[in-house]
Chains A and B, each alone.
Chain A
């Protein structure tokens, strides 16, 4: 997608904060040289003490200062490694590969983009929303529309797992929450609001472009539901995270691509959906 000059770096970052956000969901803020992190949708690969392979985690936010900056990561406890990560104290230093992956193409957003996130796929959309707003403000849009005409749809299994609804609202975006069990917001999936809207109006008139990240079945459903082009951020088990091992290859139109190096963001037109 976003083919710019990007270079991976190995850096040591220091944990500033590490806190629980929702059931099984944690946020870690790290401080240090984050200069290689250049686009929303990129990820970092973290070395945990005693674990052989690094943990790839998408960038939720990146604030750059003079030579140093803050990197925000939101992660889910999925195994022993992430469980150990959740117990790490501020002050702990971690070896991290930064600047991995292509990132979303913000130039494609159009006037009324929609950001669709499911569970732990939500975090990269936060920095994306911030970047889109920044670009729209710089282009002279008034503050209300710059954020308010960006729709954010967040999907969770249940109300206990909800995070970042407030943060997206604070940015000024139009936020819709869906829960699978109906315990909060719309009962259903991230596609449910669109299916409802589809009956009322043409989706194409309402939204210019979509950006989505979440579990594969959700991405498939989003791709099937949306009649507009968009970008999907994929997840795959990785070996290296920088394109060397071919551990995360997927078939795309016209060949294969590595989720870590050529992705993780792919355009809706290049993906092949196998049933």
Chain B
């Protein structure tokens, strides 16, 4: 299956399919269903310096062709991730894993990345500066090129692992954000995080989510994501990881043609726990149909 292989920041992936952070936990729930070693890799649940319970419920609302979430970075904190989740992960996943990191200050990001840098199982650090569901930090770093550059440069100083900065689409100039990260030393960028949205219960006249707003994901955001990936890929020379509403092998191919070196799959895992497995299995046939010999050949074909 060499034809599915891609490279991401110097590390080879058997295929470009990567479950996105927050939709795959630390892998355990999915490992009960299928051998998750068939994945390219996966990005584990956004991890912060301190444990976080997250937002009150309801945290989930449905939308046309998608969903809103306002989980708010629930996670056990980096120390427990290292002492409990990573050893458990080592038993079920034998490839380099992508560590997703979030924070509320530059120091937070540095602290968490420095700790995860020492973990041999971690292949990449995906630095999330784009969570729309936390107050202070999170997305605020991802909407200001200067702040994004500051986080990127600070994290780069404390790790030798490739740093992939995860961007939010909730900006007017995504290319400028991507460029700012590249200039600050990022080894790659990933995008898009969710789009800020909301729903109201028309019976109670109150927002459906306890947090009022949440992040929109699912097929509804695919065209927006594709556009952002295309614009970012045009602006930078470092690898771009595309995500946002990807639900099929065809979506993966489209993302790669827009410039994605690898593709993350998010919300689809929640509605179909076998989504990534099905996508990986469907890729060769789709490639045959379209006369694609190797996936690497189509990266950026539409740029």
Chain A residues within CB distance 8 Å of chain B = 7-8, 10, 47, 51-54, 81, 97, 236-240, 242-251, 256, 261
List the A side residues contacting B45 at CB < 8 Å.
Answer: 246
B60 A249 Cβ-Cβ under 8 A: no
A239 B63 Cβ-Cβ under 8 A: no
Residue-wise, chain B 259-272 has the 8 Å CB interface mask toward A (1 for contact) of: 00000000101111
Shortest 6 CB-CB contacts between residues of A and residues of B: A240-B270, A247-B60, A237-B58, A239-B60, A243-B29, A246-B74
List the B side residues contacting A97 at CB < 8 Å.
Answer: 273
B271 A47 Cβ-Cβ under 8 A: yes
Closest B residue to A54 using CB positions? B271
A239–B74 CA distance with the chains assembled, in angstroms: 14
Cβ-neighbour of A10 out of B28, B58, B65, B274 (below 8 A): B274
B53 A245 Cβ-Cβ under 8 A: no
List the A side residues contacting B29 at CB < 8 Å.
Answer: 242-244, 261
A244 B269 Cβ-Cβ under 8 A: yes
- Assuming the contacts A52-B67, A239-B69, A239-B270, asked whether A251 and B53 have C-beta atoms less than 8 A apart, the reply is yes
B71 A247 Cβ-Cβ under 8 A: yes
A89–B270 CA distance with the chains assembled, in angstroms: 27
List the A side residues contacting B271 at CB < 8 Å.
Answer: 47, 52-54, 240
A237 B57 Cβ-Cβ under 8 A: yes
Counting CB contacts under 8 A, is B223 at the interface?
no
- Other A-B pairs, 8, CB within 8 Å; known A7-B32, A236-B57, A239-B270: A47-B271, A52-B63, A52-B67, A52-B218, A53-B62, A54-B271, A246-B74, A247-B57
A8 B273 Cβ-Cβ under 8 A: yes
- List 20 A-B residue pairs with CB atoms under 8 Å apart, sorted by A's residue number: A8-B273, A10-B274, A51-B62, A52-B64, A52-B67, A52-B267, A53-B60, A54-B271, A81-B62, A239-B69, A240-B23, A240-B271, A244-B24, A244-B25, A244-B273, A245-B71, A246-B22, A246-B45, A248-B57, A249-B57
A256–B77 CA distance with the chains assembled, in angstroms: 13
B59 A52 Cβ-Cβ under 8 A: no
List the B side residues contacting A250 at CB < 8 Å.
Answer: 57
Counting CB contacts under 8 A, is B33 at the interface?
yes
Counting CB contacts under 8 A, is B284 at the interface?
no
Residues of B19-35 whose CB lies within 8 A of A? 22-25, 28-30, 32-33
CB distance from B8 to the nearest CB of A (A): 23
Closest A residue to B270 using CB positions? A240
Cβ-neighbour of A239 out of B32, B67, B274 (below 8 A): B67
CB distance from B197 to the nearest CB of A (A): 13
Interface residues on B, range: 35 or more
List the A side residues contacting B273 at CB < 8 Å.
Answer: 8, 10, 97, 240, 242, 244
Closest A residue to B28 using CB positions? A243
Main secondary structure of the interface of A (DSSP, over half): loop
CB distance from B278 to the nearest CB of A (A): 11
B22 A245 Cβ-Cβ under 8 A: yes
A246 B62 Cβ-Cβ under 8 A: no
B32 A8 Cβ-Cβ under 8 A: yes
A237 B61 Cβ-Cβ under 8 A: yes
- Assuming the contacts A236-B57, A237-B58, A244-B23, asked whether A8 and B33 have C-beta atoms less than 8 A apart, the reply is yes
A252–B199 CA distance with the chains assembled, in angstroms: 28
Counting CB contacts under 8 A, is B54 at the interface?
yes
A193–B196 CA distance with the chains assembled, in angstroms: 48
Counting CB contacts under 8 A, is B207 at the interface?
no
- Assuming the contacts A243-B29, A244-B25, asked whether A238 and B60 have C-beta atoms less than 8 A apart, the reply is yes
Residue-wise, chain B 40-55 has the 8 Å CB interface mask toward A (1 for contact) of: 0000010000000110
- Assuming the contacts A8-B33, A239-B69, asked whether A249 and B62 have C-beta atoms less than 8 A apart, the reply is no
A245 B63 Cβ-Cβ under 8 A: no
CB distance from B36 to the nearest CB of A (A): 12
Residue-wise, chain B 50-90 has the 8 Å CB interface mask toward A (1 for contact) of: 00011001111111111101010010000000000000000
A249 B54 Cβ-Cβ under 8 A: yes
CB distance from B201 to the nearest CB of A (A): 10
List the B side residues contacting A247 at CB < 8 Å.
Answer: 57, 59-60, 69, 71
A144–B273 CA distance with the chains assembled, in angstroms: 45
Residues of B227-280 whose CB lies within 8 A of A? 267, 269-274
